[in-house]
Structure 1
């Protein structure tokens, strides 16, 4: 590893601090990863009074304070993820969101979950471009541009761009099972809806000349975990997509989350993170500098035929969400949430170390809990793996997790050497 591209964790007194063992924002290379913001007034450390609208306003004020503290502006936001306790609050929260993005629209994901920390009604997360990068004086610093695009071949929203590229990644808005020709949910059940979500993703990628197998990470939001088997039947008809990918059996990293509700009462919604080899500003295909997707699995962590444990591209590794499975037995470990959280983190550590990295390279962690009240117990274990509290973090409560687990954890990891590794 070069050691030159550095993980940069920062905090400001203008946004809530000391809510957990995490940093408000962690920059690496050309992105800033922000911790999900709760509607906490930084001057009191308490939830603001009012309903979802007032809470959303505080979440966005906190995001803006963090963004400005690192000398950025809200138009540098690439992705916004909105987590709601009640999907009925979506319209009120989106109106608040729209006021912060009057001209440029980031990509957007909106879901309702079983519970949020502190009993909040809203939690908002942002991914922010970092044009200056974290390599001092890099030749590209300051030259990169955001490229937001839409195509009529996929559903167009007045609230979000379908795709926003920056540097070597495209982030896509989570796709609902909407037929772009009618603007309505497709007929049928979860299989038909999953197929439409993936068709929409494919149409967006084709419109920006990106092959489907350039996807590095997929997140499936499903109303019922029992539907995952049916979704997988459809999923395997889309992945692998090309002859090359089939030859190496490439599938992206993946996370599956049961949500309490989705917009339009959909049964499934799918989010994708996509590699962008030509970078921004666009370069000729022959000038892609040999950047490749590097997928890796290790027997030291649980393996799954439908997902790769970690997929590296450019300066990031995207890990599949880890369940508390013992890799030797494939079963959930005994004990309670502390033991399960420890196993999730041991699995992440094993994956990270298998690619010659360390937990200090983790820039973002997402925690999904069956019982949101378990967050304190999880934090006890978490702090032993991340004693510096550097990664940014998101925590949500869900009504169920795969394998009946109590906790599931995913991570994004810095990749200083890039792909292919520099010599």
Structure 2
């Protein structure tokens, strides 16, 4: 079969990489893909943007694609699944109605409250003055969120009232585009974050291995929030007992609440949790797609063929695929970012050291890269803030992290930055 993966990040490279491990996959197309997907055998980039639904439809039909897998949240929120399904294509990813669970934090909060899903206390505002008055009454620390999609950067964990005010000014001042029409203000929770990505066909829902992301740009979990600077799986803090509660109190309740609204949700339901020291948890947010960089540490441990699971979700027969089979051990990834990220950065820096990185045993997933070809040679260049995910697999976390760091030490480009403490919590 042929599969078309929509997106151009590290998550999409990992999806294509995993799909191509199956003997059932003849070819993978990536729209638009990146420098890494352009370099894989039986993988072809197509110059179509993620929101060019008709272009994606034409490619899928002309190439005889059996399944479209949507990576990013933006096309899902714009209704790519609805559009392509109406054209007769099988699509892995929720409908526009279902994607509201990520596209609107206010909508998701209301859904959680209706479904009695444990979550942080919150309030929603459309006026900056009212929002600031609320912050002043609650005090700091406090969390301020832009309501809509903000590429993982619309969350301000404010340690002072003044920084919360600055975050609200940024939100209502248009820094996050249409995501700034509303602001969600939440209580500050302490503990460790855990990412639980679950596959669902709208009836059955099954979590994948829990992962832990590192959101902050700086070592010691300091500085600004990013899309993610590294991750590892399976996260030990997500014990079997905790995952059993997540299954019943979060995943099943949420799918039931969506179904009650008439939403047939098929795809990934991703719950971001905060787990406290006493083992209790609350949902910070939901996402409607595979996580990035969590996907890059979950898929290397997956034994069940990925395309079989995705098709089972689309065709509402996921129960027949359970239990999902996993390889033992651990996986970790470290993100190489452009200097200046998550702020301004420069693109077009030549990247070297790929072969040396692979020789260490690491896998390099491309995120913000592009393949520049000339009459003399082809060079991979930076094309984003998060550039590469260098990933290691081992019998334990120490081995996996050592492999990832041995690989990233071989990579070089001007201004390259990466955290040297990924996995510090699990190692300690």
**TM-score w.r.t. length of structure 2:** 0.34
**TM-score w.r.t. length of structure 1:** 0.34
